[in-house]
Protein backbone atom coordinates (compact mmCIF):
# COMPACT_ATOMS: atom_id res chain seq x y z
CA UNK A 1 0.00 0.00 0.00
CA UNK A 2 3.02 2.26 -0.35
CA UNK A 3 1.09 4.20 -3.01
CA UNK A 4 -0.64 5.85 -0.02
CA UNK A 5 2.76 7.32 0.95
CA UNK A 6 3.59 8.84 -2.44
CA UNK A 7 3.18 12.64 -2.55
CA UNK A 8 2.45 12.91 1.17
CA UNK A 9 4.24 15.86 2.75
CA UNK A 10 6.03 14.65 5.88
CA UNK A 11 7.83 16.83 8.43
CA UNK A 12 10.36 14.92 10.54
CA UNK A 13 12.10 16.43 13.58
CA UNK A 14 15.44 14.98 14.63
CA UNK A 15 16.06 13.94 11.04
CA UNK A 16 19.85 14.34 11.12
CA UNK A 17 20.57 10.84 12.46
CA UNK A 18 19.11 7.55 13.67
CA UNK A 19 15.39 6.90 13.38
CA UNK A 20 14.58 10.28 11.86
CA UNK A 21 17.17 9.94 9.12
CA UNK A 22 16.12 6.36 8.33
CA UNK A 23 12.47 7.38 8.22
CA UNK A 24 13.20 10.28 5.88
CA UNK A 25 15.11 8.07 3.46
CA UNK A 26 12.51 5.26 3.61
CA UNK A 27 9.47 7.48 3.08
CA UNK A 28 11.20 9.46 0.32
CA UNK A 29 11.94 6.19 -1.49
CA UNK A 30 8.15 5.68 -1.67
CA UNK A 31 7.63 9.17 -3.11
CA UNK A 32 6.90 11.16 0.06
CA UNK A 33 8.03 14.80 0.09
CA UNK A 34 10.07 15.03 3.26
CA UNK A 35 10.95 18.16 5.22
CA UNK A 36 13.79 17.57 7.65
CA UNK A 37 14.43 19.45 10.88
CA UNK A 38 17.34 19.24 13.35
CA UNK A 39 20.16 21.47 14.61
CA UNK A 40 23.05 19.97 12.57
CA UNK A 41 22.44 21.45 9.14
CA UNK A 42 25.55 19.86 7.61
CA UNK A 43 23.95 16.46 8.19
CA UNK A 44 20.52 17.59 6.97
CA UNK A 45 22.04 19.06 3.81
CA UNK A 46 23.83 15.77 3.06
CA UNK A 47 20.74 13.60 3.71
CA UNK A 48 18.45 15.87 1.66
CA UNK A 49 21.03 15.96 -1.13
CA UNK A 50 21.25 12.18 -1.24
CA UNK A 51 17.45 11.83 -1.28
CA UNK A 52 17.25 14.27 -4.21
CA UNK A 53 20.10 12.52 -6.04
CA UNK A 54 18.09 9.29 -5.76
CA UNK A 55 15.11 11.02 -7.41
CA UNK A 56 13.23 11.97 -4.24
CA UNK A 57 12.01 15.30 -2.91
CA UNK A 58 13.42 16.80 0.28
CA UNK A 59 13.77 20.15 2.01
CA UNK A 60 15.42 20.93 5.32
CA UNK A 61 15.53 23.69 7.89
CA UNK A 62 17.69 24.22 10.98
CA UNK A 63 15.27 23.49 13.80
CA UNK A 64 15.74 23.38 17.55
CA UNK A 65 12.56 21.76 18.87
CA UNK A 66 12.92 23.57 22.20
CA UNK A 67 12.17 26.83 20.37
CA UNK A 68 8.47 27.02 19.37
CA UNK A 69 9.05 29.55 16.58
CA UNK A 70 11.61 27.25 14.93
CA UNK A 71 9.19 24.32 14.94
CA UNK A 72 6.53 26.63 13.50
CA UNK A 73 8.98 27.69 10.76
CA UNK A 74 9.63 24.05 9.89
CA UNK A 75 5.91 23.39 9.41
CA UNK A 76 5.54 26.68 7.50
CA UNK A 77 8.39 25.60 5.21
CA UNK A 78 6.62 22.33 4.40
CA UNK A 79 3.39 24.14 3.56
CA UNK A 80 5.10 26.83 1.48
CA UNK A 81 7.29 24.33 -0.41
CA UNK A 82 4.67 21.68 -1.06
CA UNK A 83 1.28 23.33 -0.41
CA UNK A 84 0.10 21.09 2.44
CA UNK A 85 1.17 18.98 5.41
CA UNK A 86 0.10 15.35 5.71
CA UNK A 87 2.26 13.99 8.52
CA UNK A 88 4.47 15.32 11.30
CA UNK A 89 6.87 12.86 12.92
CA UNK A 90 7.74 14.29 16.34
CA UNK A 91 10.94 12.30 16.73
CA UNK A 92 13.73 14.52 18.15
CA UNK A 93 14.89 13.15 21.47
CA UNK A 94 17.61 12.86 24.10
CA UNK A 95 18.31 9.94 26.44
CA UNK A 96 20.57 10.96 29.32
CA UNK A 97 20.76 8.03 31.73
CA UNK A 98 21.94 8.46 35.33
CA UNK A 99 20.67 7.51 38.78
CA UNK A 100 18.40 10.13 40.32
CA UNK A 101 20.92 10.53 43.16
CA UNK A 102 23.40 12.04 40.67
CA UNK A 103 21.05 15.07 40.54
CA UNK A 104 21.66 15.81 36.86
CA UNK A 105 19.06 18.55 36.96
CA UNK A 106 20.23 20.23 33.75
CA UNK A 107 19.87 16.93 31.89
CA UNK A 108 16.39 16.45 33.37
CA UNK A 109 15.52 19.88 32.00
CA UNK A 110 16.99 19.09 28.58
CA UNK A 111 15.05 15.83 28.30
CA UNK A 112 11.80 17.51 29.35
CA UNK A 113 12.42 20.37 26.92
CA UNK A 114 13.28 18.16 23.92
CA UNK A 115 11.26 15.00 24.52
CA UNK A 116 8.03 16.51 25.89
CA UNK A 117 7.90 20.20 25.03
CA UNK A 118 9.43 19.55 21.60
CA UNK A 119 6.54 17.18 20.82
CA UNK A 120 4.01 19.73 22.08
CA UNK A 121 5.52 22.46 19.90
CA UNK A 122 5.17 20.09 16.94
CA UNK A 123 1.51 19.59 17.83
CA UNK A 124 0.99 23.34 18.18
CA UNK A 125 2.53 24.02 14.78
CA UNK A 126 0.78 21.24 12.84
CA UNK A 127 -2.68 21.05 14.45
CA UNK A 128 -4.08 24.27 12.91
CA UNK A 129 -2.93 23.09 9.47
CA UNK A 130 -4.49 19.66 9.98
CA UNK A 131 -7.75 21.21 11.20
CA UNK A 132 -7.88 23.57 8.23
CA UNK A 133 -7.20 20.72 5.80
CA UNK A 134 -9.51 18.33 7.68
CA UNK A 135 -6.73 15.75 7.46
CA UNK A 136 -3.35 15.05 8.98
CA UNK A 137 -1.34 12.51 10.94
CA UNK A 138 0.69 12.94 14.12
CA UNK A 139 3.38 10.33 14.67
CA UNK A 140 5.00 10.73 18.09
CA UNK A 141 8.04 8.70 19.14
CA UNK A 142 7.78 7.30 22.64
CA UNK A 143 9.69 4.16 23.73
CA UNK A 144 9.31 0.85 25.51
CA UNK A 145 10.61 3.02 28.37
CA UNK A 146 7.30 4.86 28.02
CA UNK A 147 5.44 1.63 28.86
CA UNK A 148 7.68 0.35 31.68
CA UNK A 149 9.94 2.48 33.87
CA UNK A 150 13.58 1.97 32.90
CA UNK A 151 15.11 2.17 36.37
CA UNK A 152 17.60 2.78 37.87
CA UNK A 153 19.02 5.38 35.53
CA UNK A 154 16.25 5.97 33.04
CA UNK A 155 13.64 7.32 35.42
CA UNK A 156 13.42 10.83 33.97
CA UNK A 157 13.80 9.58 30.38
CA UNK A 158 10.95 7.13 31.06
CA UNK A 159 8.92 9.97 32.54
CA UNK A 160 9.27 11.93 29.32
CA UNK A 161 8.29 8.93 27.21
CA UNK A 162 5.27 8.14 29.43
CA UNK A 163 4.28 11.77 28.85
CA UNK A 164 4.55 11.36 25.07
CA UNK A 165 2.18 8.37 25.24
CA UNK A 166 -0.27 10.25 27.45
CA UNK A 167 -0.22 13.35 25.25
CA UNK A 168 -0.62 11.27 22.09
CA UNK A 169 -3.59 9.37 23.43
CA UNK A 170 -5.32 12.50 24.71
CA UNK A 171 -4.59 14.22 21.41
CA UNK A 172 -6.13 11.32 19.49
CA UNK A 173 -9.22 11.47 21.67
CA UNK A 174 -9.57 15.24 21.33
CA UNK A 175 -8.91 15.75 17.63
CA UNK A 176 -10.34 12.41 16.44
CA UNK A 177 -12.43 12.49 13.28
CA UNK A 178 -10.23 13.55 10.42
CA UNK A 179 -6.84 13.49 12.15
CA UNK A 180 -4.81 10.37 12.92
CA UNK A 181 -2.43 9.89 15.86
CA UNK A 182 0.18 7.16 16.13
CA UNK A 183 2.60 6.53 18.99
CA UNK A 184 5.68 4.43 18.23
CA UNK A 185 7.35 2.61 21.14
CA UNK A 186 10.67 1.13 20.04
CA UNK A 187 13.10 -0.94 22.07
CA UNK A 188 16.84 -0.73 21.44
CA UNK A 189 17.51 0.65 17.97
CA UNK A 190 20.91 1.49 16.51
CA UNK A 191 21.43 5.29 16.47
CA UNK A 192 23.35 8.03 18.27
CA UNK A 193 20.90 7.96 21.20
CA UNK A 194 23.16 5.70 23.27
CA UNK A 195 25.80 8.46 23.46
CA UNK A 196 23.50 10.86 25.36
CA UNK A 197 24.57 9.94 28.91
CA UNK A 198 27.25 11.95 30.74
CA UNK A 199 27.28 9.60 33.76
CA UNK A 200 30.15 7.18 33.05
CA UNK A 201 28.78 3.97 34.62
CA UNK A 202 25.37 4.53 33.03
CA UNK A 203 26.94 5.22 29.63
CA UNK A 204 28.83 1.91 29.88
CA UNK A 205 25.65 0.07 30.88
CA UNK A 206 23.79 1.60 27.92
CA UNK A 207 26.67 0.72 25.57
CA UNK A 208 26.54 -2.93 26.70
CA UNK A 209 22.74 -3.06 26.46
CA UNK A 210 22.71 -1.63 22.94
CA UNK A 211 24.76 -4.52 21.59
CA UNK A 212 21.39 -6.16 20.88
CA UNK A 213 20.05 -3.12 19.00
CA UNK A 214 18.21 -3.57 15.73
CA UNK A 215 18.48 -1.33 12.66
CA UNK A 216 16.76 2.08 12.58
CA UNK A 217 15.09 0.90 9.35
CA UNK A 218 12.85 -1.25 11.57
CA UNK A 219 11.24 1.90 12.97
CA UNK A 220 11.09 3.52 9.53
CA UNK A 221 9.10 0.53 8.29
CA UNK A 222 6.72 0.76 11.26
CA UNK A 223 6.13 4.44 10.53
CA UNK A 224 5.52 3.68 6.85
CA UNK A 225 2.96 1.03 7.87
CA UNK A 226 1.02 3.59 9.91
CA UNK A 227 1.09 6.17 7.11
CA UNK A 228 0.14 3.83 4.29
CA UNK A 229 -3.17 2.74 5.85
CA UNK A 230 -6.35 4.08 4.26
CA UNK A 231 -7.46 7.43 5.74
CA UNK A 232 -10.19 5.78 7.84
CA UNK A 233 -7.68 3.50 9.61
CA UNK A 234 -5.76 5.02 12.53
CA UNK A 235 -2.90 2.86 13.80
CA UNK A 236 -2.68 4.17 17.37
CA UNK A 237 0.33 2.35 18.80
CA UNK A 238 3.18 0.23 17.52
CA UNK A 239 5.56 -1.46 19.97
CA UNK A 240 8.65 -3.04 18.42
CA UNK A 241 11.85 -4.31 19.98
CA UNK A 242 14.72 -6.67 19.21
CA UNK A 243 13.44 -10.26 19.42
CA UNK A 244 16.06 -10.97 22.10
CA UNK A 245 15.22 -7.90 24.23
CA UNK A 246 13.18 -8.74 27.32
CA UNK A 247 12.74 -5.18 28.70
P1 LIG B 1 19.69 10.02 17.67
O2 LIG B 1 20.50 10.59 18.80
O3 LIG B 1 20.40 9.31 16.58
O4 LIG B 1 18.76 11.12 17.04
C5 LIG B 1 18.19 12.15 17.81
C6 LIG B 1 17.80 13.24 16.86
O7 LIG B 1 17.19 14.30 17.63
C8 LIG B 1 18.97 13.86 16.12
O9 LIG B 1 18.61 14.04 14.79
C10 LIG B 1 19.18 15.18 16.80
O11 LIG B 1 19.63 16.13 15.84
C12 LIG B 1 17.78 15.50 17.23
N13 LIG B 1 17.72 16.47 18.31
C14 LIG B 1 18.24 16.39 19.55
N15 LIG B 1 18.00 17.52 20.23
C16 LIG B 1 17.30 18.34 19.39
C17 LIG B 1 16.77 19.64 19.49
N18 LIG B 1 16.88 20.36 20.60
N19 LIG B 1 16.13 20.14 18.42
C20 LIG B 1 16.01 19.44 17.29
N21 LIG B 1 16.49 18.20 17.13
C22 LIG B 1 17.13 17.67 18.18
O23 LIG B 1 18.65 9.05 18.38
P24 LIG B 1 17.38 8.21 17.82
O25 LIG B 1 17.28 8.31 16.38
O26 LIG B 1 17.46 6.90 18.46
O27 LIG B 1 16.21 9.01 18.54
C28 LIG B 1 15.04 9.42 17.88
C29 LIG B 1 13.87 9.24 18.82
O30 LIG B 1 13.65 7.87 19.06
C31 LIG B 1 14.05 9.88 20.21
O32 LIG B 1 12.85 10.50 20.60
C33 LIG B 1 14.34 8.68 21.09
O34 LIG B 1 14.00 8.92 22.42
C35 LIG B 1 13.46 7.64 20.43
N36 LIG B 1 13.78 6.26 20.74
C37 LIG B 1 14.97 5.73 20.35
C38 LIG B 1 15.28 4.44 20.69
C39 LIG B 1 16.61 3.84 20.37
O40 LIG B 1 16.93 2.77 20.92
N41 LIG B 1 17.42 4.43 19.52
C42 LIG B 1 14.32 3.59 21.40
C43 LIG B 1 13.10 4.25 21.72
C44 LIG B 1 12.83 5.53 21.39
P45 LIG B 1 20.59 17.38 16.11
O46 LIG B 1 21.57 16.96 17.16
O47 LIG B 1 21.20 17.61 14.77
O48 LIG B 1 19.67 18.48 16.51
pTM of the model: 0.98
Strands (E), the chain: 9-13, 33-38, 57-62, 87-90, 136-141, 179-186, 237-240
What pLDDT is attached to residue 126? 98
Quick: pLDDT tens for 197-241. 999 999 999 999 999 999 999 999 999 999 999 999 999 999 999
Going from the Cα of 115 to the center of ligand 1, the distance in angstroms, rounded, reads: 9
Q: What is the mean pLDDT of residues 154-172?
A: 98
What pLDDT is attached to residue 2? 81
Q: Is 210 helix (H, G, I), strand (E, B) or coil?
A: helix
Contact 146, 113 (CB under 8 A): no
Confidence band for 114, pLDDT divided at 50, 70 and 90: very high
Going from the Cα of 240 to the center of ligand 1, the distance in angstroms, rounded, reads: 17
DSSP codes of every residue in 177-192: TTEEEEEEEE-SBSSS
Q: In this structure, are strands 33-38 and 9-13 parallel, antiparallel, or unpaired? A: parallel
Quick: pLDDT tens for 139-153. 999 999 999 999 999
Determine if ligand 1 sits within 6 Å of the CB of residue 143.
Answer: yes
Determine if ligand 1 sits within 6 Å of the CB of residue 17.
Answer: yes
Mean pLDDT for the chain?
Answer: 97
Confidence band for 244, pLDDT divided at 50, 70 and 90: very high
Number of Cβ within 10 Å of residue 244's Cβ equals: 9
What pLDDT is attached to residue 176? 79
Which stretches of 180-230 are DSSP H helices?
A: 200-209, 217-228
Whole-angstrom distance, CA of residue 236 vs CA of residue 138:
10
C-alpha neighbours within 13 Å on the C-beta side of residue 21: 20
> Looking at ligand 1, which atom is closest to the CA of residue 43?
47
How large a percentage of the chain has pLDDT more than 90? 98
Amino acid sequence: MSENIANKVVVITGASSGLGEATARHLASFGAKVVLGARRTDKLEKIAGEIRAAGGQAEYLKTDVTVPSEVQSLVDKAVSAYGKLDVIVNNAGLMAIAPMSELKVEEWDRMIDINIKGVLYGVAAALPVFQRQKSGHFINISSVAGIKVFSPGGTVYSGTKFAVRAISDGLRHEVGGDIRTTTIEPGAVESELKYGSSHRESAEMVGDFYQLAISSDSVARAIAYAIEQPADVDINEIVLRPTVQDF
